[in-house]
Amino acid sequence: MKRMLSLLLVAALGVLAWALPAPEAEESPTIVPRAVVAVTSNHSTCPWAFSDGAIDTFFVAQTDEDADLRFTFPVGGKVRKTVEEPQIGPAATALSLAAVLNQGVSPAVVEFSSGSSAAGIVETGEGVLAADVCPSALSKIWHLPGGSTLEGQTLRLVLFNPYSDDARASVAVTSEAGFEPIPELESVTVAGRSWKVIDLGKLLPLRESISVAVDMKQGVVTPAMVLSEGDDQAVWTNEGQADQWDFPVADAGGLTPRLSISNDGATPVDYEIDGYSTTGAEIALLTGTIDGRSQVQLDVSGLAEGVFGLRLRTSGPVAATLIADDGVRVAATAGVTVSATRWMLPGFGLAGVSTLWVMNAGAETTTVTYRFLDAGGALGEVEKVAVLPGRVLAVPTVPIGASALVVESSYPISVAWTMERDGAIAYASAVPMAGQ
């Protein structure tokens, strides 16, 4: 059985960064062209988590070194709960939301005393499986392509403000019809230590593709997109734009993958999509142009036989999300913008059969080692595989009660993971470790 976190509810908060006022507007970080969706850091913000009688969400805190962990749950302008735990690294602790707050939506902040750390969430229930990395950056502008509001789908935008001061944002929405003027989204206020859930399906029903840009006017929020289809659900966030995005898994088998790309700049951007298969078979090259301040959602299911990954390259910065579904199951993930030799996968192995996806876009065969982690440290032995150049390798794993995975390689690679359970599926990106 998985050794879950023993809860220590702290009465006194002490001095928390998240209890302080938000940074002044002029001090808030802004997006640069080269964005990293998540990097190892000493804090992560998890804008989406849900728990009721049928569904639970696990927060996973992964560290490479010894660290003190703190999970903070603000509700209605106050810090409702705080959970603290020491962790001897490398390790990964999983905290059940139902054991802390069982009230529906409950975002949280995860803090670490060690900088080489990452956090993620895994949402699980009957027919429901979703996973995502919790962002470690504070951005002035957030970009979230990949939504849709067709019949049978529910699309929600979550804005989480962990600070004590109120935050205000302008939310711009673009669909296949172009820019969608929505007066109530021109100025959205999120009270301090609270969140707001916006039902985009009610505002914009029957849209095939929706991209959202959240522009902070005051304070800071962390957004997430939540797409429900059938009983399943997908969750993703995004921190910015880049001119290269890797998706080590596009089709995990039996799904229809689509790549959603948004160009919020004023000028057109050319794109080129390369595929990487597990067999090395030739894959079609997809090219095109995206007009300024527009978005496109591309069906990439015909690029290769079987399972494969993608690399998107563009002539200017864009945001990108990979969505895959079959009418019953749905999964989505932002890509990764860097290749690296060390990766963290918080949540891997937690709630189903997990598969490691490694994309080697380089010219040399790379040796990849990986090891499972739980709250007590490493599980089992270090495993080793070789990934040929220009290939994607899928590594299915046997469930052994893990909470995370750590991956290392002899050459830079891109990494993602999938999880399947009870007919549901989840996609998630990995987190490159800092200092590479």
* Domain positions in the chain: 38-133, 141-236
**Predicted local confidence at residue 302, as pLDDT:** 80
For the domain 141-236, what is the CATH code? 2.60.290.11
- For the stretch 351-369, pLDDT in tens is 989 999 999 999 999 999 9
Res 305: pLDDT: 75
Q: pLDDT tens digits for 47-80?
A: 999 999 899 999 999 999 999 999 999 999 999 9
pLDDT tops 80 at residue 84: yes
What is the domain class of 38-133 according to CATH?
mainly beta
Which pLDDT score is estimated for 304? 79
Q: What is the dihedral of CA 380, 382, 387, 392, to 10 degrees?
A: 40
CA-based Rg of the chain, rounded to a whole angstrom? 20
The strand pair at 91-96 and 55-63 is best described as: antiparallel
Two tokens, residue 43: 């804090």
Share of the chain above pLDDT 90, in %: 80
Kind and range of the H or E element at 202?
helix 200-203
Tokens of 306: 């079987």
Find the mean pLDDT for residues 37-47.
76
The Cα-based distances of 292 to 137, 194, 315, 399 in angstroms read 26, 34, 12, 46
* pLDDT band at residue 138 using 50, 70 and 90 as cut-offs: confident
Q: What is the pLDDT of residue 254?
A: 84
